[in-house]
Structure 1
Amino acid sequence: MYTHAAIDLTSILDSVCLRNAHKSAISFEGKTWTYSEFDTRCRRLARYLKQHGVRKGDRLGYAGQNHPAFLETLFAAAHLGAIFVPVNYRLSGPELTYIINDAGMHTLIFDGFMQATVENISADLCTQGLLAVDAPASPHPDYEQAIEDNHPLLETVPVSAQDVAFIMYTSGTTGTPKGVMLTHGNIFWNDLNLRLIEDIYGEVVLTCCPMYHIAGLNCAALAAIFRGAHQHIHRMFDPGETLRTIEREKVSALLCVPAMLLFMSQHEEFDTTNLSSVRALLSGGAPVPPALIKRYQQRGLPFYQVYGLTETSPYALMNLACDTKTHPEAAGKPVIFTEVRITDGKGREVPTGEQGEICIRGPNVMSGYWNKPEATTEVLTEDGWFSSGDIGYCDDNGFHYISDRKKDMVISGGENVYPAEVEAVLYQHEAVQEVAILGLPDDKWGEAVTAVLVVKTGTEITLESLRKFCDGKLARYKIPLRLFVVDELPRNPSGKVLKYVLRERLSSPSAQVA
């Protein structure tokens, strides 16, 4: 009886390449590789790494902007049974050092953007090898030369679906990043979860989210490869170039975090760009204001909201395009093989419509945090339920709504205030460009609901006018008691507002209240 399903990354790529050998796989800065060429490059890199000591279970890192080398490193690691560790290229030297040494990386591949940072910390790293991409002045071995000098590796190290494929470090919005261990099976089931609901990607995918982020990697880059699609990779996100690429290459699918959507919608070319080729615009990472969703729907784009975390690979909920029209505030319904329930924080499910913590179970949920068994036990039960730390509720029709992060909830006068609800109202104000709601210490209320705004050019706003605007739209205790107007909101690379940074800045006695 057949008992083994080959669902590891190497087997998936082999199958894709067998069927699409001569199709365009990746286009990047004027050059295109077929699936056969891409596979050959991955195998050449794998041979180089094997010759330099990389073995099954070793950690192989990539620190750099979006580049085909990122994906080649990922699949080279898979060929060797090694574990791929993508690293945020915006990290400082000490932050980078922590992640590399925490992961115990055998080899780090880095690009020219990261060259100065890596070389400044190289003496503090545990790595046995460094390899430089697009960094001609680097004293370390050159990536392209390594590929050119080696024949493709034909032997692949066998792995199981339970073996760790990636360690992805959380973006660290609070405290030290944790390494999320995702298995080959997690990645397979994440893709199947969406594919069986509605296979929406089409023939041309644009990857403009950073690939070191779970959404950019699993929901864009790997989704394109698994389908044999032609993927256009942008080194970094640029709203104008993204719009032009959609029109020029007839892009059928792309994923953007809300901040990217906002910047594109504000670009001078947004209304004149031909976007008719797009059959799926996906967004995740944070709730999208309904007004912004409507802006894209008015341009005829099918808008899909997705919800998940690095720990869930990430799909947990999806709001299909048809449902986003009728329920734009919803995060959606559970994907096929994933269970979602709302609990009271002690594992007990709460009644429909009641707020609680979102918990997730399924084959897409991580195996744990690297080197952090205690942290793993805090969020993962023995029967597989993962506590997300997000607050939400489910309605009578099965739609789930995200209220906020548990840690971001404001308790004012004993009442729970969920920032996302207040933010959704403030986004309706004609002067508001961006908004973040948080709680600041208050002698009277415990915490004061505080609005931090970026206002549109040529407009002004006062606390009095803002409170008047909210009157009748929000309960009185939810209306902001304080207002700060700033030039920009601090965000992490996935587009999430860093509210802890705002709290630190605005808790200072010198902070100016508008």
Structure 2
Amino acid sequence: MSENLYVLLASRFPADRSRPAFLLSDGSEVSYGALETGAGRIAARLIAEGVQPGDRIGFQAEKSVEGVMLYLGVLKAGAVFLPLNAAYTQAEVDYFRADAGPKLLVTDPAAFLAGAPAEPSPATTPRRASDLAAILYTSGTTGRSKGAMLSHGNLASNALALYDAWGFSPDDVLLHALPIFHVHGLFVALHCALLGGCPMVWLPKFVDAEVLAGLSRATVMMGVPTFYTRLLANPAFGRESIGRVRVFISGSAPLLESTFAEFEARTGQRILERYGMSEAAIITSNPLHGDRVAGSVGFPLPGVELRIGGAEETGVIQIRGPSVFSGYWRMPEKTAEEFTADGFFITGDVGRRDPDGRVWISGRAKDLIISGGYNVYPKEVELVLDEMPGVVESAVIGLPHPDFGEGVVAVVIGQGQEPALIAAARAQLAAFKAPKRILFVTELPRNAMGKVQKNLLRQTYADLFAKS
């Protein structure tokens, strides 16, 4: 039996293919039958153009239903999907093309579909679980972008685990306002809906009015923390806005505890936070049934082994399991560096586990600050600052310091007096952990999924402590 991911997904489409797969903001619908036909036509065109199993097919375009058809068609043809952020510059795209060597780069999936044969390909190219299904390039904030190789088995195992963990069923309706060039929107959200044969409220991007309207039809919403802060900033959002939504899920960036608390006060629901990455999709999740704890990313998914590296309580998270990728594209030496001798992937995320097994993330290992010989975990400092009056959000970084090696600096959205905030931080933190400087800004630099780009902050303020 073929282990092609497309076979699994299509086997779970509703028997009545006229059921809607996409509910569009203009009131129209796209059925599962149309989705299946579109994917089949694209697979037929790929095969007609000489695409072989294992060939990479690049995708760089704005979010669309045709983009999903392209993804499924690529899987059906046995090729490898290569999604690229629509905002990438030509120079960035040139790098990915040179590195991944795609057979085709599709920038207009609707036009690509229009040029496909009228008859869809009836067959799905057989694939093994270990065969490559997609390559996702990491953000490259610490250097050259790396292509994480994800197999059909990796994606299938994670999708099935999430479907069960989050209680999906054919009765669900997913609000989908995420991009589809990233794990969150492409693999996590999309796969859960397709496995249930569920309709999706399909929004090209997050627009307050459209999301509020969509919530009246949805049972599940997935988003990044920014989605939830924007909803909370809208006076029209409250208990009466959420209709029959049974769960709100957040990921791709840390959720502030203040956002968690305010959302619960406003809606009566606790956001379900989870933790994942390009190299393994979703790793841990707070429980659907049970206590969701603010600040924790919950428990490892079934099948995921998670341990903390090193002798200390807090250390770098290491994982092993069926959803963990096989390595980085054309980077065997880097791949070898990132795995332990017994096969655990070294995530680069620093965290700890409670006695009950809950996982808490402190930050990225590369963000660790060593000040005067002492380790400072930025998350610990941010949690203190974010609770202070006037502080909306903080990002703590280490900058070159002539005396301490690195000085702790907080870049803050909000209002306040720098000396008073530093003094307040010193009252709750050891002196070496407290910020030596606090800088106020109107916004923090973020990537497409809402993560604060601390590397850009370090570059911007690199000379803050330079001696004159």
User: TM-score, structure 2 length as denominator?
Assistant: 0.94
Aligned AA (1:19): A
Matched, 1:296 2:263: yes
Structure 1 position 287 matched with structure 2 position 242: no
Whether the 8 Å CA contact 2:399–2:407 is kept in 1: the answer is yes
Q: 1:48 maps to which residue?
A: 45
Residue by residue over 1:227-270, the C-alpha shift from the partner in whole angstroms, topping out at 9 and shown as x without a partner, is 111012221222342223212x2x11121112222222222322
The 3 A distance-change label for structure 1 pair 175 and 445 is same
Residue in structure 2 matched with residue 228 of structure 1 by the alignment: 197
Residue of structure 2 aligned with 1:246, choices 193, 201, 215: 215
Match of 1:192 in 2: 160
Deviations, residues 324-358 of structure 1 (Å, cap 9, x unaligned): 54x312111111011000011xxxxx46xx11110
Measure, in 2, the Cα distance between the counterparts of 1:164 and 1:450: 42
Alignment of 1:305-324 (within 5 A): 305-312=273-280, 314-321=281-288, 323-324=290-291
Once residues 390 and 58 of structure 2 are traced to their aligned partners in structure 1, the CA distance between those partners, rounded to angstroms, is: 44
Give the percent of matched residue pairs that are identical in Structure 1 and Structure 2: 33
The CA deviation at 1:510 is: 11
| Bigger mean CA deviation after superposition, 209-218 or 159-168 | 209-218
- The verdict on how the C-alpha distance between 1:20 and 1:282 changes in structure 2, with shifts beyond 3 A counting, is farther
Match of 1:91 in 2: 88
Q: 2:448 matched to which residue of 1?
A: 493
Are residue 145 (structure 1) and residue 100 (structure 2) matched? no
Partner of 1:341: 307
Please show how residues 493-512 of structure 1 align to structure 2 within 5 Å.
493-508=448-463
Partner SS, residue 84 of structure 1: strand
Letter in 2 for 1:463: E
SS in 2 for 1:436: strand
Deviation at 1:8, TM superposition (A): 2.3
- The 1:290/1:164 distance shift into structure 2, 3 A limit, reads same
The 3-state SS of whatever aligns with 1:55 is coil
The alpha-carbon deviation at position 200 of structure 1 amounts to 4.3
| Deviation readout 1:334-392 (Å, 9 max, x if unpaired) | 11011000011xxxxx46xx111100000000011111111111112354310000111
Structure 2 CA distance for partners of 1:237 and 1:174, relative to 1, 3 Å? farther
**How far does the alpha carbon of each residue in 1:10-37 deviate from its partner, in whole angstroms, 9 at most, with x for none?**
2113312363422111123433111111
Local SS of the residue matching 2:128: coil
Tell me the secondary structure at the aligned position of residue 203 of structure 1: coil
- Correspondence for 1:359 among 314, 318, 321: 318
Spell out, residue by residue over 1:41-83, the C-alpha distance to the aligned partner (whole angstroms, 9 max, x if none).
Answer: 1111111222222121111111122211221111111111100
Moved more, 228-237 or 23-32: 23-32
Q: Work out which of the residue numbers 8, 16, 24 in structure 2 matches 1:12.
A: 8
- Letter in structure 1 aligned against 2:130: Q
The 8 Å contact of residues 239 and 268 in structure 2, kept in 1 or not, is answered as no
CA contact (8 A) 1:442 1:448 kept: yes
Whole-Å separation in 2 of the counterparts to 1:475 and 1:168: 40
- Structure 2: distance between partners of 1:297 and 1:18: 34
- How many pairs were matched up? 463
Alignment of 1:157-236 (within 5 A): 157-200=125-168, 203-236=172-205
Q: Which runs of 4+ in 1 moved over 3 A?
A: 195-198, 321-325, 508-511
Change (3 A) 1:65 1:273: farther
Contact 1:63 1:109 in 2 (8 A): yes
Contact 2:163 2:192 in 1 (8 A): no
Return the letter of the residue paired with 2:378. Answer: P
Deviation at 1:426, TM superposition (A): 1.5
Aligned equivalent of 1:386: 345
Q: Offset at 1:306?
A: 0.7
Unaligned stretches of 5+ residues in structure 2: none
Post-superposition Cα deviations, 1:298-325, rounded to whole Å, max 9, x if no partner, equal 212342111121101x111111255554
CA distance in 1, matches of 2:65, 2:356: 42
SS at match of 1:317: strand
Gapped regions of structure 1 (runs ≥ 5): 111-131, 135-141, 345-349
Matched residues in 2 for 1:193 and 1:80: separation? 25
Name the CA distance, whole Å, in 2 between partners of 1:19 and 1:385. Answer: 40
CA distance in 1, matches of 2:364, 2:294: 19
Question: 2:424 matched to which residue of 1?
Answer: 469
For residues 370 and 168 of structure 2, what CA distance do their matches in structure 1 show?
A: 41
Asked if 2 retains the 8 angstrom alpha-carbon contact of 1:409 and 1:418, the reply is yes
Paired amino acid for 2:179: P
- SS of structure 1 residue aligned to 2:396: strand
RMSD: 2.0
1:423·1:436 contact (CA, 8 Å) conserved in 2? Answer: yes
What is the CA distance between 1:449 and its match in structure 2? 0.9
| Contact persistence 1:190–1:364 (CA under 8 A) | yes
**Structure-2 separation of matches of 1:80 and 1:322:** 39
| Match in the other structure for 1:117 | none
C-alpha distance in structure 2 between counterparts of 1:20 and 1:356, whole Å: 50
Structure 2 CA distance for aligned equivalents of residues 444 and 9 of structure 1:
55
1:78 corresponds to 2:69 = no
Structure 1 residues 323, 355: CA separation in 2 closer, same or farther (over 3 Å shift)? farther
One-letter amino acid of the structure 2 residue matched with residue 46 of structure 1: A
Instruction: Report SS of the residue matched to 2:324.
Output: coil
The equivalent position to 2:245 in structure 1, one of 278, 281, 288, is 278
Q: CA deviation at 1:144?
A: 4.4
Could you say if the C-alpha distance between residues 42 and 200 of structure 1 is closer, same or farther in structure 2, counting changes exceeding 3 Å?
closer
8 Å contact from structure 1 (residues 209, 236) kept in 2: yes
Distance between the aligned counterparts of 2:173 and 2:166, measured in 1? 16
1:125 aligns with none
